[in-house]
Structure 1
Amino acid sequence: MGTDIHGFVECRAAYRTLEVEDVSGWYGAIDLELLYGGRDYDAFGCLFGVRNCAGFRPLAAERGLPGDASDETRQGYEAWGRDAHGATWIGWEELSRVDWDERAERVDDRVHEFTRDPSGGWVPAGKGFWGRADRPEGDEWIQDGRLFRQVRVSRRDAVPERGAWAPVWATMRALADVHGDEHVRLVVWFDN
């Protein structure tokens, strides 16, 4: 059974407020499913520590549902009942400072597989648990015309700049441009 992600981009409306104290509560700006429809365990591990086979120091693991979560977020989370797990959140202020070139803390639990493209170069073909994860980083071997390699990936490998998360980041950036970095966050949870 796979693990799926759910959540909301939340925002506190700071536009046209005179004082910091005037900033209202959090609003569910947009449901995550309208921006991200993937199931990418490398991204889940890198960002939130869920299905973290690649061995990242997660950016925002196990923070729980924020006590001041928006009504939309709270209702969405509660609708999943006991199936919801791994609730956490991360603010745009944090995301905008991430070093996307930072590498995982260890070699990936999975062996990375490559096949030849028409020009003869090696291109990624998949990852799997083939019982060789005890090999050191960079170790590689060819078997049945395929290249296998032990890899320690970067955050950029897990969450490519123009990848599936780009619409989420663009939405958060746009809201932050209007309301301020500290007034935008992503709240997520998972189900199996």
Structure 2
Amino acid sequence: MGTDIYGFIETRHPCADEDWYDGEPWSVSTPLYPLYDGRDYDAFGCLFGVRNRLDWTPVAAGRGLPADASEAIRHDYEKWANIDTAVRGCTWVAWAELRDLDMTVRPAARGVLQLRSAKSVIHQYRIDDQWPEELVDLYPIPPFGVSPDQALAGRWDLPDVTLEYGPLTRQAVLGPGTGWEHVFGVMEALGRRFGPDGVRLVVWFD
């Protein structure tokens, strides 16, 4: 079974700390979908520690539902958690944290090797100190390097498949073309109104 992400962007009312203000401190601005509708486990691992096959140091893993989450988010999360026991990994991250990410950070894994057909990705291999034995059994040692510690990023076209290898950074899994740029763009715009600590993304998975 695959893992999907759900969530909302929340903003904190500028007057939430005033004595006269009697509304909710946080309110929903927009759901995560349609800003992001992907299923990229490398991004999930990088940000939230979910499906973390490459051993990223996650940005915001396992924080749970914010204690002051808006009623709308609390209701939605509890409804689905009660219906589906697979719901897990609830956490949140502020725009202040995402805004200041070092996008050059890499996971513990050396990189990812993708085996592609003409139409889609057939398989992705986590690469550490050796090329996968099952891959070397099917094809010669990739020309990127005799061992991964010497390998440079590259692409290798064979008659039936293409092998593409490269190290990953946060930029590769969260930057332009990943879908996360839309989420970050909206959070950045809201941050100009509510402040970087007054905008957060609340998510969970199933």
Q: Indicate the TM-score class for this superposition, using the shorter chain for normalisation.
A: 0.7 to 0.9
The 1-side partners of 2:172 and 2:127 are apart by 21
> Cα 1:168–1:132, aligned 2, differ >3 Å: closer, same or farther?
closer
Q: Percent of pairs identical after alignment?
A: 37
Give 2:46's aligned residue: 46
What is the TM-score normalised by the length of structure 1? Answer: 0.79
Number of positions where the alignment pairs a residue of Structure 1 with one of Structure 2: 179
Residue 94 in structure 1 maps to residue 97 in structure 2: yes
CA contact (8 A) 2:9 2:28 kept: yes
Of the three residues 112, 115, 120, the one matched with 1:113 is 115
Q: 1:141, CA displacement in angstroms?
A: 9.4
Q: Secondary structure at the match of 2:17?
A: helix
Give 1:122's aligned residue: none
Gaps of 5+ in 1: 117-124
Give 2:17's aligned residue: 21
Q: Name the amino acid aligned to 2:181.
A: A
The 2-side partners of 1:96 and 1:131 are apart by 28
Deviates more, 1:162-171 or 1:3-12: 162-171
Q: 1:161, CA displacement in angstroms?
A: 2.7
What is the aligned-residue RMSD (CA, Å)?
2.9
User: How do 1:1-192 and structure 2 match up within 5 A?
Assistant: 1-14=1-14, 17=15, 21-22=17-18, 25-81=25-81, 82-108=85-111, 111-113=113-115, 126=121, 128=123, 134-135=130-131, 136-137=148-149, 138=151, 144-145=158-159, 146=161, 148=163, 151-191=166-206
Please identify the structure whose Cα radius of gyration is greater. 2
CA contact (8 A) 2:65 2:90 kept: yes
The 1-side partners of 2:41 and 2:122 are apart by 11
Gaps of 5+ in 2: 132-147
Q: Deviations over 1:127-148 (max 9, x none)?
A: 7256976433427896844554
Q: 1:85, CA displacement in angstroms?
A: 0.3
